[in-house]
Structure 1
Amino acid sequence: MFGIGGGQGARQFTELGLALLLSSLIGLERELQQKSAGLRTHTLVGVGSALFVEVSLHGFGPANGLTGTGFDGSRVAAQIVSGIGFIGGGLIFVRRDAVRGLTTAATIWLTCAVGMACGGGLPLLAAAAAVVHFLVVRGFPLLTRRLTAVPTVERFELLLSYRTRRGVLGRVLELCTSQGFRVTDVHIHSEAREGESGKGKGKGREAEVVLGLEGRKPAHPLVEELTDWEGVLDVGLRAHRDSTE
């Protein structure tokens, strides 16, 4: 039971060590990106997958010698592939109209495959898969920025404080569409506070609205024009908060 050999030799420990190294490198990249699954999660997934494969290859050897028994080591590997989906599914969630965590869930899936390759005695394939991860996650965004001739669609939010009963909101929406921006969301704060001259019915009140916009051009000229409008009290711009990573 405690002897060296029979599935507990230097090769098996080396394979587990390689799984530890490669999965830690992948997890470290996710940790630096401040993702929900970081260094510890990826390392445990990689080493655990490698250990499962080691057990499937060497742990059931004595049972094969018994009469009327048979063992297929690929069954354990198949269960690893299906079981890792529970962790990946827990990393994916929807916020508004955007899905987040897809890349991290796919990375968990890849780390599982890297660990299985290490445990199965395929170190070159495991190392190649780890290199592919860094190429896709870190290199592809830089490549797509250089190859894309058409400007990418930028998503941002326009924060506007204005005085009501002057048709400001309708004119703002018309301006955004005429400038080539697509309005994806309109959120008006439910509580409007009285302005300095809000006692009269015709004077209007202050209101705040957040407009979700998409466009292929900078939005700063839009903000500069709105600052000169009568009835506009404050204008702000911020990046869209949703992400698919």
Structure 2
Amino acid sequence: MNIAQLLAVPLFDPGIGQGARQFTELGIALLLSSLIGLEREVQQKSAGLRTHTLVGVGSALFMEVSIHGFGAVTALTGAPQDPSRVAAQIVSGIGFIGGGLIFVRRDAVRGLTTAATIWLTCALGMACGGGLPLLGAAATLVHFLVVRGFPVVTRRMALVPGDRVELHLSYRTRRGLLGRVLELCTKRGFRVTDVHIEPEQASADGREKGKAKEAGVVLSLEGKGPAYPLVEELTFWDGITEVGLRAHQDSGD
């Protein structure tokens, strides 16, 4: 047996952390992280299937290396092995990816939920790589409970007193309607927390012959009472072509 054969045997030895158990753990991490990534892909978020899958499998591989990759060094030096050192560096390093997904626009923070799912995917990958696949599976179920189940609950509670709603309006410009709408909201006990105005478009009313334009506005409101009476009154205003109401969208996604 030559030198190359002597080196090749330990390199590809399945008994030193490269056996069926380790490949199964990587496979479980691949499956669970793909499920989370697929959900974010369907929601068209900034980090989707590929990002979450790579984070989950990479974290699992780091844990495998941390647990099984330094056996030869320990045997030569006699120094104790500490697998938690690599795990701690994974937790610190994943923060750079999560931080890059968070941005602020008009005082609204966006990307927090996506960054949190990256963090969770890293954790479940570490759990699978560390020999705790059941905990990783439980964390995956918790993810779907939070991102799918919680919005259903909040939507049902959206229009109770004291909650936040979004008022969507389409109106003809140059009539001072926006100022009157804001005044009405204030009189009805609502606080306007955000105003988003969409670009003007030519009015479809032929009588105006292109002189009048329509604009859209989204008002974020906080109030102590239901917003339905407000919507009902605005529907009778001359110049307002469309009124809509929905639960306030979470800006942290």
Q: Which residue of 1 aligns with 2:219?
A: 212
Q: Closer, same or farther in 2 for the Cα pair 1:178/1:78, shift >3 Å?
A: same
Residues 59 and 129 in structure 2, CA contact (< 8 A), matched pair in contact too: yes
Matched, 1:224 2:231: no
Q: How far is the alpha carbon of 1:94 from its aligned partner?
A: 1.3
For 1:122, the equivalent position in structure 2 comes to 132
Select the residue among 229, 233, 252 that pairs with 1:244: 252
Q: In structure 2, which of residues 185, 188, 191 is the aligned counterpart of residue 182 of structure 1?
A: 191
CA pair 5-223 structure 1, distance change in 2 beyond 3 A: same
2:158 and 2:164 in contact (8 A); partners too: no
Compute the displacement of 1:20 (Å): 0.4
Does the C-alpha gap of structure 1 residues 130 and 221 become closer, same or farther in structure 2, counting only changes over 3 Å?
same
Answering whether residue 36 of structure 2 is matched by residue 26 of structure 1, we say yes
- Segment drifting more, 28-37 vs 207-216: 207-216
Structure 1 residues 221 and 212: alpha-carbon distance in aligned structure 2, compared to 1, 3 A threshold: same
Contact 1:49 1:116 in 2 (8 A): yes
Q: Tell me the residue number matched to 1:80.
A: 90
Q: Does 1:103 align with 2:113?
A: yes
| Alpha carbons of structure 1 residues 121 and 237: separation in structure 2 relative to 1, 3 Å | same
Q: Deviations over 1:126-177 (max 9, x none)?
A: 111111111111112223445678254212343443446xx65554432232
How far does residue 93 in structure 1 lie from its aligned partner after superposition?
Answer: 1.1
Q: Distance in 2 between matches of 1:146 and 1:236?
A: 24
State how far apart, in whole Å, the 1-side matches of 2:38 and 2:49 are: 5
In terms of mean alpha carbon deviation, does 153-162 or 90-99 score higher? 153-162
- TM-score where L is the length of structure 2: 0.76
Distance in 1 between the 2:48 and 2:197 partners?
37
Aligned to 2:77, the other structure's residue is in SS state: coil
CA separation of 1:243 and 1:62: change in aligned 2, threshold 3 A: same
Partners of 1:159 and 1:211 within 8 A in 2: no
The yes-or-no answer on 1:38 pairing with 2:48 is yes
Q: Confirm or deny that 1:138 pairs with 2:151.
A: no
The AA in structure 2 aligned to 1:80 is I
Q: How many residues align?
A: 231
Answer yes or no: is the 8 Å Cα contact 1:183–1:211 preserved in 2.
no
Corresponding residue for residue 52 of structure 1: 62
Q: 1:235 to 1:96 in 2, by over 3 A?
A: farther
Task: Say which of 165, 187, 192 aligns to 1:154.
Answer: 165
State the secondary structure of the residue aligned to 1:53: helix
Specify whether residues 75 and 135 from structure 1 end up closer, same or farther in structure 2 by C-alpha distance, changes over 3 A only.
Answer: same
Partner of 2:7: none
Q: Distance in 2 between matches of 1:129 and 1:223?
A: 46
Percent pairwise identity: 67
Give how far 1:184 is off: 3.4
Q: Match for residue 182 of structure 2?
A: 173
RMSD of aligned Cα (Å): 3.4
- Where does structure 2 lack aligned partners over 5 or more consecutive residues? 1-10, 203-207
> CA contact under 8 A between 2:173 and 2:215: conserved in structure 1?
yes
CA distance in 1, matches of 2:135, 2:220: 44
Asked whether the equivalents of residues 59 and 122 of structure 2 are also in contact (C-alpha less than 8 Å), the reply is yes
Aligned equivalents of 1:71 and 1:43: distance in 2? 29
Provide the TM-score with structure 1 as the length reference: 0.79
- State the SS of the aligned residue for 1:86: helix
Q: Deviations over 1:87-144 (max 9, x none)?
A: 1111111121321111111111011000000000011111111111111111122234
The amino acid of 1:32's aligned partner reads V
